[in-house]
Amino acid sequence: MPIDPRQPYDDSNIFAKILRGEIPCNKVHEDEFCLAFHDIRPQAPIHVLVIPKGAYVSWDDFTAQAPDAMIAGFIRSVGTVTRLLEVDGPGYRLMVNMGTFGHQEVPHLHVHIFGGRQFYQMIPD
Ligand code: AMP
C-alpha cells in the first residue's frame, strides 16, 4: 500500500531497521550520508536502493527538512554508488516514488538506481 507522505517518521519501517542493523541487507556502499543495498525484488538487472542516514519519510520531507550539507552529501553519494556499480558508462535510470500517487511503499526516502539494460518507456503503466 502506498504511504501517506505527511505521516510522521515511523522508526519501525523496514529501512530504519536495516539502517540500525536489525535486519540484513545486501550492501553495496555506506558512507556518512547514505546506505546503498540491492533491492530485494529487483526490477532490472541492477536495482539498488540508496537511503539517507536520517529520519526522512520522503523526498518531500528530505528536501524541506534536511540540512544543505546532508542534501548535497546524499546526492553526491548517489553518484558515488552509480560509479561503484559501473552503470555510469552505459547509463542508468534514477527513480524516487513519493507519496500516494507516486506509489511509495516504504516510508523512508529511497532513491532507486536501475541499470544493466536499455530502458525505453518512461512510465510503463
Ligand atoms: P517504493 O515503492 O519506491 O517504496 O519501493 C520500495 C522498494 O523497497 C521495493 O522495490 C521493494 O522491493 C524494496 N524492499 C522492500 N523491503 C526490502 C528489503 N528488506 N530489502 C531490500 N529491498 C526491499
Q: Would the pLDDT of 124 be above 80? A: no
Counting beta carbons within 10 angstroms of the beta carbon of residue 49, is it exposed (0 to 12), middle (13 to 18) or buried (19 or more)?
A: buried
Q: Which of 38, 47, 103, 110 is catalytic?
A: 110
Q: What is the pLDDT of residues 102-121, one digit of tens each?
A: 999 999 999 999 999 999 99
**Distance (Å) of CA 46 to CA 50, 58, 93:** 13, 23, 10
Residue 72 near ligand 1, beta carbon < 6 Å: no
Residue 106 near ligand 1, beta carbon < 6 Å: yes
The fold of 14-115 is HIT family, subunit A (3.30.428)
What is the C-alpha to C-alpha distance for residues 27 and 18, in angstroms, rounded to an integer?
10
What does the block give as the cell for 16?
A: 530504519
Q: What is the pLDDT of residues 14-46, one digit of tens each?
A: 999 999 999 999 999 999 999 999 999 999 999
Q: Could you tell me which residue, 125 or 75, shows the higher pLDDT? A: 75
Domain limits, the chain? 14-115
Q: How confident is the model at residue 11 (pLDDT cuts 50, 70, 90)?
A: very high
